[in-house]
Structure formats: structure tokens, C-alpha cells
Structure 1
Amino acid sequence: MEPTLPLLASAVDATWVMVSAILVIFMQAGFALLEAGSTRMKNAGHIAGKTVLTFGICTLAFWALGFGLTFGNGNSFIGLTGFFFNGTEEQAAAAYESLSFANIPVGIKFLFQLAFAGVSLSIAWGGFAERAKLSVYVVFGILYTILIYPVVGHWIWGGGWLADHGKQDFAGSTVVHLTGATAALVATILLKPRLGKYNKDGSSNLIPGHNQVYTTLGVIILWIGWFGFNAGSAFGSVSGLFGHVALTTNLAAASGAVAALGIAWAVTGKADIPSMLNGVLAALVAITASCAFVEPWAAIVIGSVAGILTFYTAIWFDRMGIDDPIYAFSVHGIAGIWGTLSNGFFAAPALVEKVGVGMPGLFYGGGFHQLGVQALGVFAALVYVLVASYVILAIMKKTMGLRVTEEEEVMGLDLSEHGGYGYPELLQSERPYVSAPQRRSTHSLT
């Protein structure tokens, strides 16, 4: 084909979205380091390894059913076409009307949306950490990818009823983050706290993560990956919108880091590093809905508020007896709610017109309409995911069980689930010539 300006523009857009998909998939490495570093050494290999397993499961389930349920033509509730994605433009034209706005190959669109589904599932796993059976990750991973995530995704991004109302969620504060965080909250409540987390009087014991360097590296990787997450959601680069999105994303993240560290320092007297890292992530979650709709000054406000909110809500959930090892609901749930609502305050008229979704926010004379739409979307997603996750996990708890035994939890999931240790030198220093099959029964439970 002879190169033309439209063809060149399409090629540039497609290249950017493909690079963005790779960046978002690479966020799995960030989650692996973040979760492993935030938990104990005896579970590090398990947590890192299940990240690979569950992304593989998510990929297959999303290919078979999830993509069609999310973006396929259907009704206001769910997609009903485009199952078992075959990568052809013929299938795309017949089945995925909601994705027709972007002139890039449908295979790239699939990979980009798959990466988002994988991130949402990784967020959900925060509520399972250090006490769930490996089989639970397999079963719930499949069900989440075909029964939970696609429903909310279709409502907002797939031409569903919230899309008809003009719900603004540019890159997924609700679809990806609130959905995953709500499932994590249900899981951590049903699984109950880790052994030794709470005393008989209800007071909490700190169970620190084993490697703060891993946690920090994980957050840096996620911060970089977020440029693909948010700026990639412009579905192109030629229009220039992706540059504005990248700017607001970075400003929010930086503000969240500074605000969270500042509030932790002021309240505790110490410059707490985990609080700062949670502030970065919370700010990134919050700006995800609004990155294309708000001006730079508003991004700083949104990120700062998110960093402060996640500090206080993490403390509150802990006092309520909710053992959330990765702070999934504070970071992704509360910040996801705030970020979604922030559009109703800060969405600027010129940017709303450029994106073409919804109305300006309250502070720009738009009244309460968009804020009401945003609140409706938060409420609907929260209720659906709470109910669906509870039903699925309650049935699983009755039939197959969710939690490992006390002995296995004390031993650590590296050994009890996998027969090997994430840090084998430590085990070998105790019994240097013990073979892998023997380690389950001979390793001390201390």
C-alpha cells in the first residue's frame, strides 16, 4: 500500500497503543515486587509465582469470554457477541462496535484491554495474600474475568447503561481499580485476618513486609507502567491528547507521594516510606478516571487528597479488624471512589469537549449533573462487585475452602503450596542436604 497521511497516522497510533499495552502488562512485574516485598519472606516465592499463573489464567479467560462480554455488542448490561476472539477485522466489525472509534488493528485493542483486566485481577489478589490456597487463585481468577470485571467494564466502556449516562472514567478508576479493590475487600473479610495479626482485646500487631526495596521498586515500575495505562487510553498519539494525560498523571503521582509522606510525618513523627509509596499508588488510581478531563492544577489537588485519604483509611480499616496486607481497598478502592467523583468537580469544559464524554464539573459551572452521574457509577459498581464477589467466594468457601490450614500458614505458602522456598539459601543453611520433597515435613514451623 502506498503510504498516505491517514495510513501513517494510523500506524503511529497503533504503535503507541501497542507500546502502552506492553507497559501495562509489565505492571505485573510491579505488582509482583510490591506484593512480595509487602509480605513475609516465607510467602515471597508463592506471591511472585502466582502473579504469572493468574495472568496466564486471565489471558485465556478474557480471550474466550471476557473480551466479548465487556466490549461485544449486546444490551445495556452485558456484551453478547465476539467470544473466542480470532483477531480478524471481520469479527471486529460485526461484534465490537464499542471499540470502533479507534482506527488501529483489533488485535492491539485486545492486548491493551487484556492488560487492564490483568491489572484489575492483580488488585483483587491483595485481599487474598498470605492465607489463600493456590487453587482459589485459579478458580476465582477465571470467575472474576468472566463474571465480575466484564459487567462493570461493559456498563462504562462497552456501550452499557452508564456509558449512555455520560459516565467519565477515562482509564479505569472505577472499572479497573474499584472493581478489583472491592473483590479484595470481600476476600479479606471472608478469609479473616492472618494468624497473629490481632490480639484478644482487638488491638493490632504490625506484620511488616520483608523487603522495602522490593516494594519501592514495584511502585516505581507501576508508576512508569501507568503512562501506558492512562496515556495509552487515548488510543493514539496523533491528536496530542496523550501528552496532556501523561502530564496530569505524573503531577498527581508526585503530589500523592509528597502529601502522604507529609501527613505520615506530621501524625507519627516519622517519614514513613510505606505510607509514601501508598500515596503514590493512591494518587495514580485517583487520576486514572480524570487524567484527560482535568487541568494540571486539579491533578495536583486530586493526587494530594488521594495520598492523605489512603493514609487515614488504611489506619481506620486496620482498627476495624480488616486485615488487608497490601492495603488494596485503601489504595485502589477509596482512591478509586475519590478519583471517579473528582471528575464531577474538576472536569474542564474544553477537555470534556475534546474527549467527547459527559459534561463539565461543578467548579466550571456544570452544576451537579456530572457529579451525580459519577456517584451513580461508583454506587452501581460497588454494589454489583460486592454482591457478586461475596456469592462466588461464599460458595467457594463452602465447597472447596478458601484458606490454608494453620500449620501451612505458619510454615509459609512457599513450602506448603510449592514444596520450595523463595529464598532457598535460608532453608539450606538449616538443613543443607534436604531434598525438595522432604522439606515439607522436616522444615521447622517457626
Structure 2
Amino acid sequence: MAIDAGDTAFILICTAMVMLMTPGVGLFYGGLVRRKNIIAMITLAFIAFSVVSLQWILFGYSLAFGTDIGGFIGGLDYLGLAGVGMDGEGIPDLLFMVFQLVFAGLTLAIVTSGAAERVKVSSFIVFGLLWTTLVYDPLAHWAWGGGWAASLGALDFAGGTVVHISSGFGALALALVIGRRVGFGTYTMEPHNIPLT
């Protein structure tokens, strides 16, 4: 099947729109924290996207969409994006990779909510790399990359499982491990800018 110009244009627009959600998430969480932490929350959203971008290009895309290994993870066929080019069915493989990359980046940006006002950037980078590799990539393979869930007929059109459930539980786990904010319960921690959210 040849590349379809209409499908390619549509996915390009969708990719741009999903990519714009990352700064939106940063602004949303920035409005919910105290004034002194707004820059940290916005920065964490962009760092999350950057960490995932590097991981996805190096090996994440391959783990999610490489040749199926036992239904649980993809192989290393696309390590460093080897073999990912402008050919494909309907849309270029490279565009599909970027489309999936922005979803992966957005998912980790959503997880930053669990770290609001409580995490160092260096620690979050390590967490983000590990979480994306050990949680997001296998889930993406299971649902979208031909893994066991897809073979059972599971459909995840908009990322309900891969994006939303995984980011929600990831944020919950991060918040439980980090613990409460310093001063929690001793004084009011009001959001500084509700209209920003």
C-alpha cells in the first residue's frame, strides 16, 4: 500500500495537537501548585518529554513496536530507529514513530503530577527513564504493538489503558513513594492560579 497524502496530513495534525498537550499539562499543574513551584512543574513537563524522546529514539520505539517476543515486549529491530523510514502503509513509518513518541512523552508529563513540589529534577529523570522503559513500553506493546492484549482482541483507540491508566497509577505510585509535601496539614497549600488550570 502506498503512502496516502490525506492520512499523512491528518496524522501530522494529530501529532502537533498531542505535542501541544505537554506544555498544556505543565501549565495546568503549574496553576495547581504554590507560586514558588510553578516553574518547577512546567520544567518537569518539558523534561519528561525530553527524557522520553531520547529513550524512544534509542530503544523505546523498538521495545513497543518491534517484533513480538512472547507477547510481552518488542524486539530490538528498531534500535536507534534502524529501518524506520519514509516507507510504510498509509503513513510513513517515521511519522508513526513520532506520533507514538508524543503520546509517550505526554504520558510521562501526566505522571509529573504525582511529584508536585516534592522531587529533584535529577531524580525525576532517572524515574522517568525507568518508568517509561519498564511500564509504558511494555503496555504500548501489549495494546498497540501486537502483544498479548491485542491478540485477545483488546482495542485501545485513544490511549485509555496505555496513556491514562498507566499515567494515573504511575503518579499514584510516585506520590506514595515520595510521601506528603513538607508542611502538609500545618498550613493551607492553595493553588496560586486557578484560571491557569
Question: TM-score surpassing 0.5?
Answer: yes
1:30 is aligned to 2:1: no
Q: In the alignment, residue 189 of structure 2 is paired with which amino acid?
A: I
Structure 2 counterparts to residues 13-52 of structure 1, below 5 A: 13-52=7-46
Partner of 2:141: 154
Partner of 1:77: 72
Distance, in Å, in 2 between the alignment partners of 1:85 and 1:196 is 46
Contact 2:50 2:105 in 1 (8 A): no
Higher Rg of the two aligned structures:
1
Distance, in Å, in 2 between the alignment partners of 1:59 and 1:89 is 19
1:59 is aligned to 2:56: no
Q: In the alignment, residue 174 of structure 2 is paired with which amino acid?
A: A
Q: State the percentage of identical aligned residues.
A: 34
Structure 1 segments of 4 or more deviating over 3 A?
Answer: none
Q: What does the per-residue CA deviation read over 1:343-386, in whole Å, with 9 as the maximum and x for residues that have no partner?
A: xxxxxxxxxxxxxxxxxxxxxxxxxxxxxxxxxxxxxxxxxxxx
Partner of 1:88: 85
Partner of 1:324: none
Corresponding residue pairs, total: 194
Distance, in Å, in 1 between the alignment partners of 2:132 and 2:170 is 12
1:191 is aligned to 2:178: yes
Structure 2 counterparts to residues 196-275 of structure 1, below 5 A: 196-198=183-185, 206-215=188-197
Q: What does the per-residue CA deviation read over 1:147-185, in whole Å, with 9 as the maximum and x for residues that have no partner?
A: 210111111111111111111211111111111111111
Distance, in Å, in 2 between the alignment partners of 1:32 and 1:104 is 30
Partner of 2:156: 169
Partner of 2:108: 121
How much has 1:206 moved relative to structure 2? 4.8
Distance, in Å, in 1 between the alignment partners of 2:20 and 2:86 is 27
How much has 1:198 moved relative to structure 2? 2.9
Task: Indicate the SS of the match to 2:138.
Answer: helix
How much has 1:189 moved relative to structure 2? 0.7
Q: In the alignment, residue 196 of structure 2 is paired with which amino acid?
A: Y
Q: In the alignment, residue 78 of structure 1 is paired with which amino acid?
A: I
How much has 1:140 moved relative to structure 2? 1.1
Q: In the alignment, residue 79 of structure 1 is paired with which amino acid?
A: G
Distance, in Å, in 1 between the alignment partners of 2:43 and 2:120 is 13
Q: In the alignment, residue 14 of structure 2 is paired with which amino acid?
A: S
Distance, in Å, in 1 between the alignment partners of 2:161 and 2:150 is 13
Structure of greater relative contact order (alpha carbons < 8 Å, 6+ residues apart): 2
How much has 1:79 moved relative to structure 2? 0.1
TM-score (norm 2): 0.92
Q: What does the per-residue CA deviation read over 1:2-38, in whole Å, with 9 as the maximum and x for residues that have no partner?
A: xxxx86x801110110111011011011111101001
From 160, 167, 175, give the equivalent of 1:180.
Answer: 167
Q: What does the per-residue CA deviation read over 1:57-96, in whole Å, with 9 as the maximum and x for residues that have no partner?
A: 1101011111010011122000002111143257xxxxxx
Task: Indicate the SS of the match to 2:26.
Answer: helix
Task: Indicate the SS of the match to 1:154.
Answer: helix
1:11 is aligned to 2:5: yes
Name whichever structure is richer in helix by fraction.
1
